[in-house]
């Protein structure tokens, strides 16, 4: 799986001029910042109150119990099939579809699915189905548990779960081995079912790493739920603006960004040489690299939040006031790094599951030049969307005289992330 992390070759093989990539990205960010400062003086996003209700027939169909039961059953069936392949299939990722199902169809496929349709994993999560079935067998209400869900817990378990999975994928000795995947999935399922058993199914909303991951990316979806629960067609910025500032949110976003950045950096020949020759060994060195990338994102965000407060004065919840602007950046990174992996390895995995031959997988859908353009466009677009979201939040929080100045640290952070992201693609 790892050699195909960028879909076509390595990032340093992509034929694009560094000067044009950097200049175009900087111009897009700077022009966006100036235009917003001149033309956008009032907050325009409505958050959880935004959106136009979809037709009643569509809402009824989407909320139909039969559809939700079918989706939950589909998730349970798919999860059972993966476990069966891990238990009974060959311990060879070239002949066993389970590693591709987890690392490609699930992990990578969750990105476009969530960006298009919202928090889809909440509907498919087989652990929810298992929890509901166990509660019914024990004649318990699945909505509640003996212990109330602590508010201070927030997304911290989700951040830890995402870090554990990305460690398995990016730093563990054998990320595609059946034994490693089975151990991770079993341990993860036991932790999640225990948490839901103690606190009720609300545990999944806050603490299931993949539900939180899908829900955060789903903030950018064109469909979503309004504050009154109604299904609406909305401006994706409204969903982004409504991101709840719960404990652990910053840590979760930092894992999303940092792990993707490390994945790109881990393809660099200098880092490959470092990992292979390190006296610590491959796994400890890769682990330190992954943790360092996540920590670096956290430090940069913390410094930015502190400088914003120094320039603009007191900000409500300064550490989380602008963290939502990192979500489109994370989405851009994820699309840039994994888009062709899904298009090439996804069909190959399905062919393996159906009994086909590994060689029957399709050729890469994009040539190197088109892939490079798509990757740079995804990264830059994510940052421009972040600039727009930051500006709207700034004009809402700060007096007009300080709104533009208060965004300067965020603009600098965006430029740093943009240059770093493009550097990982074309260096």
pLDDT by residue for the chain (427 residues), tens digit each?
444 443 333 444 455 566 666 777 777 777 887 787 777 878 889 888 988 999 999 989 998 999 999 999 999 999 999 999 999 988 888 889 999 999 999 999 999 999 999 999 999 999 999 999 999 999 999 999 899 999 899 999 999 999 999 999 999 999 989 999 999 999 999 999 999 999 999 999 999 999 999 999 999 999 999 988 899 999 999 999 999 989 999 999 999 999 998 988 888 888 888 988 889 989 999 999 999 999 999 999 999 888 888 887 777 777 788 899 999 999 998 998 888 888 888 888 888 888 777 655 566 666 667 777 788 888 888 888 988 998 888 888 887 777 777 788 888 888 888 878 777 766 5
Buried-exposed string 125-164: b where 16+ CB fall within 10 A, e elsewhere: bbbbbbbeeebeeeeeebeebeeebeeebbbbbbbbbbbb
Distances (CA, A) of 89 to 95, 336, 345, 353, 359: 8, 32, 18, 10, 18
Confidence at residue 152, expressed as pLDDT on a 0 to 100 scale: 92
Confidence at residue 359, expressed as pLDDT on a 0 to 100 scale: 58
Q: Could you write out the three-class secondary structure of 289-309?
A: HHHHHHHHHHHHHHHHHHHHH
Q: What is the pTM of this model?
A: 0.91
Rounded Cα distance between 308 and 301, Å, is 11
What's CA 178's distance to the chain center, in Å?
24
Rounded Cα distance between 109 and 339, Å, is 9
Confidence at residue 184, expressed as pLDDT on a 0 to 100 scale: 96
Confidence at residue 404, expressed as pLDDT on a 0 to 100 scale: 78
Confidence at residue 363, expressed as pLDDT on a 0 to 100 scale: 67
Confidence at residue 265, expressed as pLDDT on a 0 to 100 scale: 85
Confidence at residue 338, expressed as pLDDT on a 0 to 100 scale: 87
Confidence at residue 31, expressed as pLDDT on a 0 to 100 scale: 80
């Amino acid at each position: 799986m790892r050699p195909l992390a960028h879909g076509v070759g390595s990032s340093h093989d992509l034929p694009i001029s560094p000067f044009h990539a950097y200049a175009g990205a900087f111009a897009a960010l700077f022009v966006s910042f100036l235009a917003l400062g001149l033309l956008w003086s009032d907050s325009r996003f409505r958050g959880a109150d935004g959106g136009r209700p979809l037709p009643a027939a569509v809402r009824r169909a989407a909320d139909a119990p039969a559809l939700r039961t079918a989706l939950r059953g589909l998730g349970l069936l798919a999860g059972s099939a993966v476990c069966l392949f891990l238990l009974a299939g060959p311990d060879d990722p070239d002949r066993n579809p389970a590693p591709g199902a987890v690392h490609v169809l699930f992990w990578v496929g969750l990105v476009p699915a969530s960006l298009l349709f919202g928090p889809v994993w909440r509907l498919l999560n087989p652990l929810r189905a298992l929890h509901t079935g166990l509660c019914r067998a024990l004649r318990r209400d699945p909505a509640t548990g003996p212990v109330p869900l602590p508010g201070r817990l927030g997304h911290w378990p989700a951040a830890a779960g995402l870090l554990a999975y990305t460690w398995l994928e990016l730093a563990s000795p054998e990320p595609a081995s059946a034994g490693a995947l089975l151990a991770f999935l079993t341990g993860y399922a036991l932790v999640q079912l225990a948490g839901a058993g103690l606190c009720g199914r609300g545990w999944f909303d806050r603490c299931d790493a993949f539900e939180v991951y899908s829900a955060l990316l789903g903030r950018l979806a064109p469909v979503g739920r309004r504050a009154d629960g109604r299904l609406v067609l909305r401006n994706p910025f409204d969903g982004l603006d409504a991101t709840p500032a719960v404990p652990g949110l910053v840590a979760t976003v930092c894992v999303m960004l940092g792990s993707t950045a490390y994945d790109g950096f881990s393809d660099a020949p200098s880092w490959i040489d470092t990992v292979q020759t390190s006296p610590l060994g491959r796994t400890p060195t890769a682990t330190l690299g992954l943790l360092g990338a996540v920590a670096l994102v956290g430090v940069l965000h913390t410094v930015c939040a502190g400088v914003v407060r120094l320039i603009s004065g007191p900000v409500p919840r300064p550490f989380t006031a602008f963290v939502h602007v990192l979500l489109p950046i994370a989405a851009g990174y994820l699309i840039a790094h994994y888009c062709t992996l899904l298009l090439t390895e996804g069909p190959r995995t399905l062919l393996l599951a159906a009994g086909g031959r590994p060689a029957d997988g399709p050729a890469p859908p994009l040539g190197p030049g088109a892939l490079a353009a798509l990757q740079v466009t995804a990264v830059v677009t994510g940052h421009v969307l972040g600039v727009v979201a930051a500006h709207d939040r700034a004009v809402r929080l700060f007096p007009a005289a300080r709104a533009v100045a208060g965004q300067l640290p965020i603009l600098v952070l965006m430029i740093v992330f943009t240059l770093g992201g493009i550097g990982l693609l074309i260096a």
